[in-house]
Amino acid sequence: MWFVDSCRKCRASAPGGTRDICTAQERICGSAEAVPPVRNVSHVTNESGHDTELGTTAVSLREVTKSYPGKGGTGVRAVDGLTLDLACGRTVALLGPNGAGKSTAIGLMLGLIPPDSGRVAVFGETPERAVRSGRIGAMPQTGRLIPGVTVRELVTFVHRTYTGKGRPVPPAGELMETAMIADLAGRRADRLSGGQAQRVRFAIAVAGAPDLIVLDEPTTGLDIEARRELWAAIRAYAGRGSTVLFSTHYLEEADAEADRIVVVDRGKVIADGTGEDIKRRVPGRTVSVDFTGSFTDLDALPHVVSSEVRGTRAHLHTTDSDATVMALAQAGLLRNLEVKGAGLEEAFLTLTGSSKATTTTPTGATR
């Protein structure tokens, strides 16, 4: 085990002298259980004063498995040989149908769930050590705020637990500004709207200026305006150089906010890339026209693999849009034509192989 006080490549100091990764020497500091970082880094310093080494690994899972007891003594494997690296300074969306292993994967990263096999490392150390040192912040999907105290009192209390450890954290007032809750400072924490309470939970999650923030379906149940306000706060925090990992059932949210999307199903990664990368993995296009009901067998049109009618619009999923459009024209059905490539929802449903996978519309979530 090697210990260094700076990176010889860029002379950036390692906080504490014995914890961060020295990429120039490809050695790990402070943890015998750590996994090696990637090469070719570009160092940046986030608001907490830590060198986040943009391009190095914030989280690394190697061949991780986790099973739970099932009925009849048969185990249910929630995570099945999962291998995944999350680079520092990025915003990553974790998608998957219900039961895909998302929550288990998050629990493994936070040190809440021990793996049956494989290895999990966060910033080159065990998740438990990363949590204790304040390098990880988490916002669970649900959780009540402490009753009988104001927002200022609650946030200040949590904030002091980190300043008492000597961590370089911003003032509590700045924290509330970042989370967009400064105007709620005098309000009772247990008398807030859903969106306001979520922003307070976010402030608590980032009170220690963590290098990695994990958000488990942060906007579920919020209205559109509340979602926008929460994401404005998340973007502001991510802009400081921190890594953000979030799970969500709002596919358009993942498409808009994430630098990278990881799709898991049955405990494995089945797709990984930008939103555009994921969409390009699905062949075909969608042809949409006004529909009067005069033609009943839309699936019989050339190269149409499936179709659906929503209101007065017919949407045809086809492997050859030109041939499908020609057939529509010959049938006299070419009204208000629109042709577009697969969206993230279509790609998600195709990749997970389930038309019952959970998706949402901009007005709410289904679980």
Whole-prediction pTM: 0.72
pLDDT for position 156: 94
Q: Which residue has the higher pLDDT, 43 or 170?
A: 170
Q: Is the pLDDT of residue 72 over 80?
A: no
pLDDT for position 28: 28
Cα distance between the two ends of the chain: 46
Helices (H) and strands (E) in the chain, counts: 10, 13
pLDDT for position 354: 52
Q: In this predicted model, what pLDDT tens digit does every residue of 142-163 receive, in sequence order?
A: 788 999 999 999 999 999 988 8
SS3 for 154? helix
Q: How confident is the model at residue 361 (pLDDT cuts 50, 70, 90)?
A: very low
Q: How confident is the model at residue 34 (pLDDT cuts 50, 70, 90)?
A: very low
Q: Is the pLDDT of residue 41 over 80?
A: no
- 8 A C-beta contact, residue 23 and residue 56: yes
pLDDT for position 351: 87
CATH of the domain spanning 117-278, picked from 3.40.50.11260, 3.40.50.2300, 3.40.50.300, 3.90.79.10? 3.40.50.300
The domain at 283-341 falls in which architecture? 2-Layer Sandwich (3.30)
Q: How far is CA 64 from CA 52, 231, 310, 356, in A?
A: 25, 31, 42, 27
Residue 27 burial by Cβ neighbours in a 10 Å radius (0-12, 13-18, 19+):
middle
Q: Closest Cα partner for 262 from 123, 108, 100?
A: 100
Q: Is the pLDDT of residue 38 over 50?
A: no
Cα 51 to the chain's mean position, in Å? 22
Q: How confident is the model at residue 347 (pLDDT cuts 50, 70, 90)?
A: confident
- 8 A C-beta contact, residue 241 and residue 50: no
Q: Is the pLDDT of residue 185 over 90?
A: yes
The structural domains of the chain, with segments of one domain joined by +, span 117-278, 283-341
Residues 6+ apart with CB under 8 A from 109: 59, 61, 120, 122, 127, 136, 214, 245
The stretch 80-98 carries a mean pLDDT of: 95
Question: Angle at the Cα of 138 (from 41 to 354), degrees rounded to 5?
Answer: 90
Q: Is the pLDDT of residue 95 over 50?
A: yes
The stretch 321-342 carries a mean pLDDT of: 90
The stretch 4-17 carries a mean pLDDT of: 35
Q: How far is CA 202 from CA 25, 46, 149, 334, in A?
A: 37, 18, 17, 49
Q: Which residue has the higher pLDDT, 1 or 219?
A: 219
Q: In this predicted model, what pLDDT tens digit does every residue of 276-319 receive, in sequence order?
A: 999 888 878 889 999 877 777 888 999 998 888 988 999 998 88
Are the folds of 117-278 and 283-341 the same? no
Q: How are the residues of the chain apportioned to helix, strand and coil, as percentages rounded to the nearest 5? A: 30, 25, 45
Query: 151-163 and 194-205 helices cross at what angle (nearest 10)?
Result: 10
